[in-house]
């Protein structure tokens, strides 16, 4: 195999991956828990962009429940983001040899 062809392909893959990273910022998903009293929004770069709490869930006597609800909503959002990224970019990323996609 010609090393110059490999370098050319590598540069194309790097450019594609850079474009994907930029587009990932625009993808968001919101996860919820506790019957929608806790909502966590995550972007495609796996950053939390917002947390919304219904005042009903803020009970100073039960902080552990609120913590669990936030974790559950975050997990829900992360699952949704992962599914969307896999659906949107899975074929491109798997052709680049990125495992798990």
- With a CB cutoff of 8 Å and minimum separation 6, the contacts of 99 are none
CATH of the domain at 19: 3.30.1310.10
pLDDT over 70 (residue 77): yes
101 inside domain: no
What pLDDT shows up at residue 32?
98
pLDDT score at 21: 81
Is residue 100 assigned to a domain?
no
HSE of 54 in the Cβ direction (CA atoms, 13 Å)? 12
> Does 10 map to a domain?
yes
pLDDT tens figures, 1-48:
677 776 777 777 788 778 888 888 889 999 999 999 999 999 988 999
The answer to whether the beta carbons of residues 39 and 48 sit under 8 Å apart is no
Residue numbers of the domain that contains 75: 3-95
Poorest-pLDDT segment among 44-48, 63-67, 93-97? 93-97
Is 22 within the bounds of a domain? Answer: yes
Inside any domain, residue 41: yes
Of 47, 49, 50, 68, nearest to 59 by C-alpha is 68
Domain count for the chain, please give it. 1
């Amino acid at each position: 195999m010609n090393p110059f062809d490999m370098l050319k392909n590598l540069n194309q893959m790097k450019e594609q991956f850079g474009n994907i990273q930029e587009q990932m910022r625009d993808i968001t998903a919101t996860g919820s828990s506790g019957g929608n009293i806790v909502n966590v929004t995550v972007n495609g770069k796996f950053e939390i962009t917002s947390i919304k709490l219904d005042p009903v869930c803020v009970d100073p006597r039960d902080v552990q429940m609120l913590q669990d609800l936030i974790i559950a909503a975050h997990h829900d959002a992360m699952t949704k983001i992962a599914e969307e990224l896999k659906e949107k970019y899975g074929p491109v990323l798997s052709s680049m040899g990125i495992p798990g996609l």
